Amino acid sequence: MHPMFLYIEEGLADTTYPFCLNTPFPQYYSVDYFRYYKLNLDCNTSTTLLTNADLSAYIFSVKSDITFGNGTDSISLNSTDVKYFRAANTITINGTFTAPLGSELGLIPTACH
């Protein structure tokens, strides 16, 4: 057993987003629910995604390295796609990678331990 902590970000550190300084903030929060996902670790494997077909067939896990494209082909998400890629060492995009409005793309460095 390991102690776990949950941090809830209010997002008030972004000074470019105006908010009223006189707004009272709660001293305590009541959390209805949160989701916890256990990551699949495949940290000894690197992967290269060259086409949209490779992107569709990708099995999400933490890889050692992820490379998108070869410099000549293009890869594009659909406007409703939500994709998060995690790698322990490097995430590289070669060529054109398009994430259109409405899609969600996360490229997250993640330790494998």
At 7-31, the pLDDT tens digits run: 666 555 556 666 666 777 666 767 7
Percent of the chain with pLDDT over 90: 56
d(CA 40, CA 51) in angstroms, rounded, equals: 23
pLDDT at position 8, please? Answer: 61
Place of tokens 């699949």: 40
At 62-76, the pLDDT tens digits run: 999 999 998 888 899
Q: What is the mean pLDDT of residues 30-46?
A: 86
Q: What is the pTM of this model?
A: 0.69
d(CA 83, CA 8) in angstroms, rounded, equals: 22
pLDDT at position 81, please? Answer: 93
